[in-house]
Structure 1
């Protein structure tokens, strides 16, 4: 008997039916897997988008180095532009001097008081423990440490 007679079908040993067997399982089960994986991919995409937005969105405050001047063998003057989304808030920036081998040899935190312009030019002198070769802005924040005061600006 064969399957056309109502008997059991035998597994073919050659031909297209042997190369591409009949799908097994319930179609509803495959559909659930597809929907579940699709939801997982969408959730992961939204999570990555949120992470990217928080990491790469416009910052509240940013310091960008515009130049430096080597004043002597233990002092570098760092010039930078401070950009604030809210200029009425004070900002604190860390500037540093680096030596020839790339190590940090001097650091200074500076408080920049409130202003009226979103961008403001700042020049700060940094004392170093070794001859400096470069001065740069390490970072800026609007979270002012308690030990910085208006007299430091």
Structure 2
């Protein structure tokens, strides 16, 4: 037959292709290894040069006459704690996650109703008392609830 005009990849382009194939494999996890490689190389050939630049591995820079050497830092998953601040923030976030969510705002009328309900049902546990009180409160008419609203100004605490 004849020799094809396939130009071999340069070292930089082969590194970029490897990086592209890794990301291509993540998005096409259902394919087997050989199929990912074939279709990935096909997709690589269709990319524009500026799209391929996204996958280029930039070389480390070398010092030139008295200038400092600039090296790429290895990628770390989490930065080191600065004076323990990040670890404290992480602990706070973990404790917030464990605590119960804040309770909704209760009206003073409902609280006054619960105080009376508590006196009548002291034999029940706190949880049962609240559950029963909430059910009873929801069954009250607007006029009955208003009676507890008018109680509110009378029961102000003295400082």
TM-score of the superposed pair, with normalisation by structure 2 = 0.27
Larger radius of gyration: 2
**Larger strand proportion of the pair:** 1
RCO (CA 8 Å, sep 6+): is it higher in 1 or 2? 1
